[in-house]
Amino acid sequence: MSTWKKLEPEDIREIHKIMLQKYGGVPGEHEPGLIDYMADKPFQGYFGQDQYPGLFMKAAVYMYGFATSQYFVDGNKRTAYGCAAVFLELNGYSLMVNDDEMYRVCKNVANKAMSLDELAAWLEKYSL
């Protein structure tokens, strides 16, 4: 069983709100239940096994999920980055990457040009 601190649905909504305040955009959710689902997804397990083992894989699940889906009306990629960064911070790591690199990776993830495993490795590489 995982001992990592997870994001709660209200954390995700607050991250989204902050990203919209900082960068602009339209508020709103397409389906509130999907936000709740995404809060738990990195911690899903099957037959007693962690489906997404390790801190960086869990961060990647948050980022990949929000970057590739339209859970919010606007700001999904920004929220994806914010969720991964906050989740890592909650668990003792800081994501250290410049804006250009983050933008490039978010676009690659959103376009599914980067796999979940590749994203997890990238997050680990750029976290201290």
pLDDT in tens, 77-115: 999 999 999 999 999 999 999 989 999 999 999 999 999
In contact, 17 and 79? CB cutoff 8 Å: no
Structure tokens at 88: 């890592």
The domain 9-125 is placed in CATH, from the list 2.40.33.10, 3.40.50.12780, 1.20.120.1870, 3.90.1150.10, at 1.20.120.1870
Alpha helices in 28-91 (DSSP H): 32-40, 55-68, 76-90
Average model confidence (pLDDT) across the chain? 95
pLDDT in tens, 39-49: 999 999 888 89
Whole-model pTM: value is: 0.94
